[in-house]
Each structure stands twice: as structure tokens, then as C-alpha cells.
Structure 1
């Protein structure tokens, strides 16, 4: 490494470009804004479902969605493998929950109810 490497780095950092610390702070703030936007969007989708009164969300699904949002926020603040794994697990729990299959209609039951697989 050249003798003047630290001086050159110092000049580059102050030659009009942001410092690495500034970049990290901006990235953290952007991550927090993204998490907040994702939370707001998910809440809007959940509350806008027209059949929400007819098919209320089960408590275990509500809990899993709440945990998913909390884990996502934690991951934005403190990225680590354990939180990524937890988020993946919760994503699968929410995505494949039986509630999303909906209610079978009487017509479906009449067509498929007596069939054995």
C-alpha cells in the first residue's frame, strides 16, 4: 500500500462524495422507510378485503402476520441469519395457512364429496 493511502482516502471521502458513515445511515433510514411502507401496504390489503366480515381471519393467522411484521422490522434494523430464517418460516406459515383456501361451496361438495382419493 502506498505511503499516502490514508491521505488519498481522506481526500476522496471529502471531495464532494458522502462518507461511508453517511451512506450507512441513509441505507438504514431507507430500510426503515421500506419496512413502514410494506407494513402500511399489508395493513391496507388486509383491511380492504370485501369478505372480511364473512370470513374473519383466524387468531393464529393474525398472530403469525403480526410476528412477520415485527420480525421484518427487526431485520431492517439488525440484519442477521436468525431473523432471515424466522421471516422465511413465518412467510410460509402465513402463505400456506388453511384460511387462504377459503370455504368450499355446496356445489363443490356435491361434486367432490363422495369421491375418495
Structure 2
């Protein structure tokens, strides 16, 4: 019994010291350097939407959007009107535009619209 008492007491002391250190660090405001999650972004990155493109049933078409002058696309994608339009490609075009390609598997015509996230280079 005596052989277990010393390691157990030592473990309890180490744990208590760790808890006390964490409590002091928390009370001292050491975590104030962590940025707030709702802080404003450092730079504006507008999302620009292109004109809707009508995709006939069974067809695959391209929709594109250009960023405003002085900005370049850093990302983008597409939005659709229906559930049966599948995006097959999403890429930056060599002209500084973002393009998406979609296939309409619905029996009715559907819309595809490209969007780009633009930033100053």
C-alpha cells in the first residue's frame, strides 16, 4: 500500500499545479491575443454574379462572369435554378473571368449563373 501512496500523491500534486496554472493564465487575460471570430475582414472580396444562362434539357453550356476593372478572380462557382443541373467544370478563364459549365438533366430548361470572388492583385 505504501508503494502506491507516493506515486498517487505525486500525481495529484502535479494535476493540482496544472489546474492552478491554467486558472491563473485564464484570469490574467493571456488569451486576449486570440482574434475574435466576428472581426471584419482585412480586405473586401466582393462576390460578382453573371447573367443567367438558359440550359435546354439534355444540354451542357458555359456561364461566365468578369470581375470589375482592377480586380482578378480568386475563386468562384455557379448557382442553378433546379436540382437536376450538375456543374461539370468551374475554373478561371484566361481573360480574367470565372466560368462554370453545367449539364441539365431535367426535362425542362434550367438556369445556370456563374459567380466570382474578386480581389485586387
- TM-score calculated relative to the size of structure 1: 0.27
Greater helix content: 1
Greater strand content: 2
Larger Rg: 2
Which structure ranks higher in relative contact order (CA pairs < 8 Å, sequence separation ≥ 6)?
A: 2
